A and B are shown apart, each in its own frame.
Chain A
């Protein structure tokens, strides 16, 4: 039996080892020498997620110890107050606490909660119930009797896990530390923890076997989902004691702990707690021995019961037999034609698959409640500020999208071939799914409206505005999430846990903060600009996803590089960031002395443009990118006359706009002020306006942004979208003429196919606008 325990443990550890080394191999040099070897499996694209876990483990362990210590200190403070200070006692009694509570009883309650979290999360982490095969049934085919097999399984499970070492062991160790054991604390903590692990493993094995024999596979899988959520609850409750919630003596969890029944002190949890708090080594040893006896007796009872349950063998309800569901065949529902077949399938799965339902719709609620437990202060005043509430609501919605729209292709799983065998473009599927999830989570802004109505009695216009903003933002970000999901998903990966690359979740959350900014922005202008950027972001990602999708199921091939909208957005971003950095550096270098900013702006503009242009060219050259805009050469159609005409037309609009601003007060006052206060531009403005700006800005905004858009979208969409982004990077007062100039330049570029044409338009426009003050 010892041998079988050893073998089982070794099997588990070896599997863990393989998972670790698979992660580490991402850093190993590819060994391409052995070409004469047998056929090699195609290496999947790996990320070092296991390495990350490996690096984070000490950090997590440390914070687990720290949290445990804080939780116990908070608990000690409250229970000490209960016994020592009558005033506090009265306060607590009013809250329903039954009277003075010894620290040991309250601590037992805490240990029980921590153990419960370990027990549930361990089942959740292994996905035990959702696995179609019951590995014990396979092990039973080996020549070992059922009794020793069960004991081996329990022993193995009590050793190989991560959750227990991160939850129970730190809690017990810090308890012993608190009890005055100092450096002997880890020892006592470890012994007590191992006993509790043994109890957990035995219970888990028993529950699993019983369920496997009695319950249908589908029910088991749904149960798995419940366990996952249920495990989070005790974990967050325990965590809340060590964080924000625990600092408040009237925190409701203290009441729960105070309600721990006295007899609990004699359960394994109580004995472990008592041992940790014992004052003499003899006492501790006796208590640990009592704990061991209790646990071993429980294990014996469970093994005995299991042997009886398994007396007819390991075959239970089975797989196929259990699936026959007595339902009326073909439930005829009214066809909802406004949903696509894909969206209807998604609804059906959501209604049936509890795991899916929990992960997508319930986890965000649980996490929200957990945030409240850990940091109650964060929610103070949320109802009074619609913007803050709206941002929070959008955050929850976006968080929901992380678990629904983003992994949406992974959700297809091994059935992805069905979509590939259907006459539909995959990018359409991705958009449909993104819109579906984005619309589904508009549940959150609706809930916000209801909450405001109930709590405040009315919804102010500004609150309506925020609610609308959130409701518009979510479908846009649903599309963004599902497009990012194309890159996050590895459908060829066999291991379910490795099919989603978690990094992309962070990328998505980071991107969605852009919309949070739109909600918080003070001016309508900033909000609209942010919305335009979000839409362009969605378009850019959609384009990238469309490029990638036909290659999704091919482990080796990748789409050929070609200029995309994303390149344009990145280049524009780099252009502005470098400009800012140069100005900042010069300001820092001047050490507060007054400087003439204008030549610096010119230098910053040119250096930023040169860096951006150079980098873009270098990257395109290295990747052999297709569709890189050409500057000179024969125009496809149109000629120099069209360029001059376009430039003059744009300039006319510009002059008309300026006149409107200077002579009337029809537009926002701030805009008029800008136009009227404008002084005569300096000499430095001339080369900037007629040379540097046209050359570099046209490369970015027409060459990359418009060119990138045009590859996927129609001419009209591309003209308007590239004009819009060009407009919003300029001051609000000049949006209209700049937008018009951008559109004219894009049309000229579309006809000519060479950048000199829009550069000419831009130069003429700028020349007229800058030169006008000199003339008048």
Chain B
């Protein structure tokens, strides 16, 4: 479904992502863990075709993430780490705009936007300019945009960072429900309890390299069965020199 082979991104001398091998199956929720600056966002941007791999390939359903970007976006929904929206556009207008960009006609776009805004409790704020939203509202608006075309694959960069506990729980519940519909979710986070709660598998990345991968229980077994995810995370990300 989502597959990277020897995916590498270099900025000058700095290797942000090196030889990354990922394979996410359909319907799987995959949590991509790592400390700040480990290469999570770089990987996600390569999956979105925004960054160009220095070498290696990234493919989703057989489509090359960079070369076939426009085609791929029909089946992919994306939430960036800090969603920024157009000035002078209201929340509703932004969701409608995204719906129209996905080829919906005006009536359908309006209906679908209203439906999604309601489900994210944004109906009241729908007539405000989106730049003025709080971080939590922006994330929710971004999720609404990402879900507008009912994508098979969701790529979410830190979907709950900057959210208060209630909003964070709300988003996680939404994601669980979406995962229940059989969609593939690839999300990056550094919230370990969230990864544990949501995902079928986790991958831990440090300094651009995948240092551990597997279901949480399996990783735990490797570490003697008693370790918390936090301990495993600290252990895995501390090893590199």
Contact = CB atoms under 8 A, between A and B. Distances in A.
Given A39-B37, A323-B128, A550-B52, A418 B102 contact: no
Contacts of A324: 127-128
B127 A422 contact: no
B12 A422 contact: no
B221 interface: no
A325 B127 contact: yes
Interface stretch (B17-25, B77-85, B160-168, B193-201): B77-85
23 contacts: A40-B14, A42-B11, A43-B12, A217-B132, A320-B134, A322-B132, A329-B126, A330-B114, A335-B107, A344-B100, A345-B97, A349-B87, A415-B84, A417-B78, A417-B84, A421-B76, A421-B145, A423-B71, A424-B73, A550-B67, A553-B45, A554-B51, A557-B52
Contact of A341 (B10, B14, B73, B101): B101
A371 to B, nearest CB: 31
B120 interface: no
Contacts of A556: 10-12
Nearest to B11: A42
A42 B12 contact: yes
A776 interface: no
B203 interface: no
B121 interface: no
Given A344-B100, A422-B102, A556-B12, 9 more contacts: A32-B13, A35-B13, A320-B132, A345-B97, A418-B101, A424-B70, A550-B67, A554-B52, A557-B51
Contacts, number: 124
A425 B74 CA distance: 12
Contact of B84 (A413, A419, A420, A426): A413
A550 B72 CA distance: 14
A417 B50 contact: yes
Interface in A609-657: none
A307 interface: no
B85 A421 contact: no
Contact of A422 (B37, B101, B126): B101
Given A418-B98, A555-B11, A330 B49 contact: no
A128 interface: no
Nearest to B134: A320
A24 to B, nearest CB: 20
B3 interface: no
B231 interface: no
Nearest to A328: B127
Interface of A: 32, 35, 39-40, 42-43, 217-218, 319-320, 322-325, 327, 329-330, 335, 341-342, 344-345, 348-349, 352-353, 412-415, 417-426, 550-551, 553-557
Contact of A345 (B13, B52, B86, B146): B86
Contacts of B77: 421
A423 B93 contact: no
A319 B102 CA distance: 32
Given A320-B134, A335-B106, A423 B70 contact: yes
Residue of A323, A413, A414, A422 with highest tally of chain B CB at under 10 A: A422
Contacts of B78: 417, 421
A418 B85 contact: yes
Given A417-B84, A420-B49, A420-B69, A319 B132 contact: yes
A558 to B, nearest CB: 9
Nearest to A352: B88
A412 B88 CA distance: 12
Contacts of B220: none
Nearest to A35: B13
B12 A423 contact: no
Nearest to B99: A341
Nearest to B145: A418
B39 to A, nearest CB: 10
A550 B86 contact: no
Contacts of B12: 32, 40, 42-43, 556
Contacts of B69: 420, 550
A132 to B, nearest CB: 8
Contacts of B128: 323-325
Interface in B13-68: 13-14, 37, 45, 48-52, 54, 66-67
Contacts of B89: 345, 348-349
B98 A422 contact: yes
B126 A423 contact: no
Contacts of A330: 92, 110, 114
A753 to B, nearest CB: 24
Nearest to B103: A423
A319 B131 CA distance: 10
Contacts of B101: 341-342, 418-419, 422-424
B87 A421 contact: no
A160 B87 CA distance: 30
7 shortest interchain CB distances as A-B pairs: A414-B84, A341-B100, A557-B52, A323-B132, A423-B73, A422-B101, A335-B106
Contacts of A412: 86
A353 B88 contact: yes
B48 A420 contact: yes
B38 to A, nearest CB: 11
B70 A349 contact: no
A425 B70 contact: yes
Contacts of A424: 70, 73, 101
Most buried by A among B70, B88, B92, B100: B88
A519 to B, nearest CB: 36
Contacts of A344: 100
Nearest to A429: B101
A335 B14 CA distance: 50
Contacts of A352: 88
Contacts of B100: 341, 344
A348 B92 CA distance: 13
B79 to A, nearest CB: 9
A423 B80 contact: no
A323 B129 contact: yes
B50 A420 contact: yes
A550 B66 contact: yes
Interface centre among B83, B97, B134, B146 (most CB of A within 10 A): B97
A348 B93 contact: yes
A325 B132 CA distance: 12
A551 B84 contact: no
Of B45, B114, B127, most buried by chain A (CB within 10 Å of CB) is: B127
A349 B98 contact: no
A222 to B, nearest CB: 10
Nearest to A427: B70
Contacts of B105: 335
B85 A415 contact: yes
Nearest to A419: B101
A32 B13 CA distance: 8
B102 A423 contact: yes
Contacts of B52: 550-551, 554, 557
A553 B145 CA distance: 20
A127 to B, nearest CB: 14
B164 to A, nearest CB: 15
Contact of B48 (A217, A329, A421, A423): A421
Contacts of B71: 423
A314 to B, nearest CB: 19
A418 B89 CA distance: 13
B104 to A, nearest CB: 9
A342 B97 CA distance: 8
A162 to B, nearest CB: 27
Contacts of B14: 39-40
B121 to A, nearest CB: 16
Most chain A Cβ neighbours within 10 Å, of B49, B69, B98, B128: B69
